[in-house]
Structure 1
Amino acid sequence: MPTPPAPAAAFGPTPTRRRSVLRDVAFLRLWSGATASGLATWALPFVLGLAVLDRALTAADLGLLLAARTVGFLVAVPVGGVLADRHSRRRVILWAGLVAAASSPLLAAGLGRSPLAAATAAALAGAGQGACRPAFQALTAEVVDVDRRRQANAAMTLAVRVTTLAGPSLTALLAAFLDTRALLLGIGGLWCVAALAPGGGAGGASAAGRPRRVPFTTEFADGVREARGHPWFVAGLAALTTVIATGYSATGVALPLVSRDAYGTEVVLAGAMTAYTAGALAGALVVARRRPRSQGWSALAGLAAYGFAPLSLVFPVHPAVVMAAYAVAGVGIELFNVPWFTATQREVAPDKLARVSSLDFLLSYGLAPLGLVLIAPAIDAFGARQVLLGCALACFAAPAAAALVPGSRHFSRRPGPVPEAAPEAGAAG
């Protein structure tokens, strides 16, 4: 009589389909907090712009407040990175969010009355924003397992793009019923959500076994050394910084000028920015499901696609060409962002991840204001066409150069393609 087949359990557990990250309560709480912080970050300059229209602020006051917020951000990013590696990352998000929330009523009270109080509040808002960014990035690696991080990072960036697309209409609608001070208090409410949504508890590996009395500069230097140990990261960060300092500056300064002078309408400006956001949404959806064999080179090619944005402003073309170029740039930036964040979370030592992420934000976004400051004088000195062409060439050349660095093909020090579920490189370090 033939022996009956062994039950499935004899060969180990039956494989099950991994649950979507969007059904994970811990991630959804984290996602909600990150989305609220992103919306609050975006809304503040928009609401302050409305205050200028209402004559509650002058243009000079607006510049001062935005500068103060930028200074607060730049100071707090490295501090937040060190604290998020030293203590619980949830706790860092909690306190950073509460600091930013507390700045809103102070800013509402000082608006148009006390420039010093308003500038202090703006700096606190920037500090809260800067401190929570590396903590959110590192906490994602704690909450989500390795093979679902690409999906998680895509969900994070999708939320940013949706708020960017829908935010102006929502804020304009609220402004019809609420004054500027009420809107600022609403931003404080968003920061409270950002602070409380991820929940409490210890930060996992980040807080375990760490010395408590190491100088800040020493801990941050450890993070810099960790970053330098990944040549692909250094090269990619240099490329990203170049693209943001040139391409984003062309978008922020030259696009409004070209829209006004070459086309005689603001429709090109609005259409290009909408196309960029729509392209970024599409890019995030694509990259959540598609994983190319050479993910690093594919990501760097996406980053280089931003060069089409300033290039479309060099020559007189139909407005639809400008909008299409910005849509391509939007797709490309997300083809870079999601693999970049996922690879950083996978390759960097877990106890140094927040510091390395803070270095990322500090250089890439910290140097963006420098590009904005320099591009207008450069246009006056050399002409818009030459400057825009230089920006486009920089956007193309920097990622191409980064692709030549060892490890850039797969965003890893390992040879060959890296499985999404591979053990983390820094787990033993």
Structure 2
Amino acid sequence: MVFVTEKAEKAGKAPSVFRNTAFLRLWTGTTASGLAMWAMPFVLGLAVLERSITAVELGVVLATRTAGFVAAVPVAGVLADRHPRRAVVFWSCLTAAVMTPVIAVGMGKSLLLMAVAAAIVGAGQGACRPAFQALVAEVVPESGRQQANAATTLAIRVTTLVAPSLTALTALLVDARALLAITAVMWLCAALVPPKGTGQPVQTSSARAGFVADFLDGIREARRHPWLLGGLGALTAMIAFGYSATAVLLPVVSRDRYDTEAVLAAATTAYTLGALAGAMLIARWRPRAAGWASLAGLACYGLIPLGLLAPVHSFVLIAVYVVAGIGIELFNVPWFTAIQREVEPGKLARVSSLDFLLSYGLAPIGLAFIAPAIDRFGASAVLGVCAVICFAAPAAAALIPSSRGFTRSS
């Protein structure tokens, strides 16, 4: 049930989303799943330090987890539009909870067992993402969704900031196998805590069509919104080129230009802190041209390859990361809110799965191509091209008339 006071509705405002019990439960479950997802790579890294697994085994396990994530996202979008989103969240998170300890069982015994378990855990992670996103639209009224999305992304950013530290501190008391068991408990929390949604009606005609036809129907829904295709293209380009290049080259620049790993740590922390500030800002700010403001925020990421390219002081580079962090949340929150508002409710999970698949799910492909490009053309050329793409892609998306407000009527 959504608790919105009549007085607040008449005033054109929604009360704090944390007064909405259903959203509070959803937020808790989303946070638990995010903490479990971000903790696992660090736990497995500690297992390498403990010599429970090798570095090669770590790479294989993380790769299969990513493969499971990418494979599950489109299927999960279809399932979450066919069936209650709460049920999809439950089974996907429960699957991750059950299979996470299996990774611990395989440590030092069977790489195949670890890889299969990691792939299934990744599938559980991918399967819950579109359902969580669609559930927000079910349990929060439209007037409160921007605040709700900001609260969710705030929790995710805090998770990325504290997960490594919490994992390292806990490792002082227990080993990697026990840490994986704790991660499984977090997945179990994510499975059990979220509320029931309003219960979108099952699309009976869609159920007869098959998964491929159902997913294609979601693509057709996305094509009805030109601003969505433009924004998704810009986001995908930024991640594939900008994020991938900076992820590879920031450690190199930190070592070679500044002769210290401290710049690497400071820059990544600054980005997360900037994102926290951006989420808090956009929770209450309602720009008149929300789409253009969001795309401008996305374009701020282009400052990072420029900062890595130019011989700037380390404090300038760190400041650039703060600005980029603010900008990414000025994009993310209105972007998710617009999708929840504009997309047909019965197809929301499929469109959300397309968003995750093309933007974040395919990011490893960009990473795979960046290193050969650097070897072939040099770091300066790659950074220059990536900066141009990060600026040009949002600018091109902004030329689409409906992008001004992320609405078909813009």
Identify the TM-score tier after normalising by the shorter chain.
over 0.9
SS of 2:200's equivalent in the other structure is: helix
**1:341 Cα offset (Å):** 0.2
Higher helix share: 2
* Structure with the greater alpha carbon radius of gyration: 1
Alignment of 1:191-230 (within 5 A): 191-199=187-195, 201=196, 204-207=199-202, 211-230=206-225
- The residue that corresponds to 2:54 in the other structure is 58
Of the structure 1 ranges 251-260 and 290-299, higher mean CA displacement relative to structure 2 is found in 251-260
Give the TM-score, by structure 1 length.
0.91
Distance 1:22 1:203 in 2: 18
Contact 2:299 2:390 in 1 (8 A): yes
Of the structure 1 ranges 84-93 and 53-62, higher mean CA displacement relative to structure 2 is found in 53-62
Give the TM-score, by structure 2 length.
0.95
SS of 2:402's equivalent in the other structure is: coil
- The residue that corresponds to 2:110 in the other structure is 114
How many pairs align? 402
- The residue that corresponds to 2:36 in the other structure is 40
Change beyond 3 A, Cα 1:30–1:14: closer
Contact 1:87 1:203 in 2 (8 A): no
**1:190 Cα offset (Å):** 0.6
1:150 aligns with 2:154: no
Structure 2: gaps (5+ residues): 1-8
Change beyond 3 A, Cα 1:18–1:408: closer
Contact 2:139 2:197 in 1 (8 A): no
- The residue that corresponds to 2:136 in the other structure is 140
Of the structure 1 ranges 158-167 and 141-150, higher mean CA displacement relative to structure 2 is found in 158-167
- The residue that corresponds to 2:6 in the other structure is none
Distance 2:390 2:10 in 1: 49
Contact 2:92 2:127 in 1 (8 A): yes
Partner deviation per Cα, 1:131-171 (whole Å, 9 max, x = no partner): 00000000000000001000000000000011111222111
Alignment of 1:58-137 (within 5 A): 58-137=54-133
- The residue that corresponds to 1:372 in the other structure is 367
Match of residue 290, structure 1, among 280, 285, 288: 285
Structure 1: gaps (5+ residues): 1-12, 416-429
1:330 aligns with 2:321: no
Match of residue 184, structure 1, among 156, 180, 191: 180
1:404 aligns with 2:403: no
**1:208 Cα offset (Å):** 6.3
Change beyond 3 A, Cα 1:214–1:318: same
1:274 aligns with 2:269: yes
**1:17 Cα offset (Å):** 5.9
Of the structure 1 ranges 165-174 and 286-295, higher mean CA displacement relative to structure 2 is found in 165-174
**1:311 Cα offset (Å):** 1.1
Contact 1:90 1:203 in 2 (8 A): no
**1:79 Cα offset (Å):** 0.7
1:138 partner letter: A
Taking only aligned residues, the RMSD between alpha carbons, in angstroms, comes to 1.4
Change beyond 3 A, Cα 1:211–1:305: closer
Distance 2:33 2:322 in 1: 25
Distance 1:278 1:17 in 2: 28
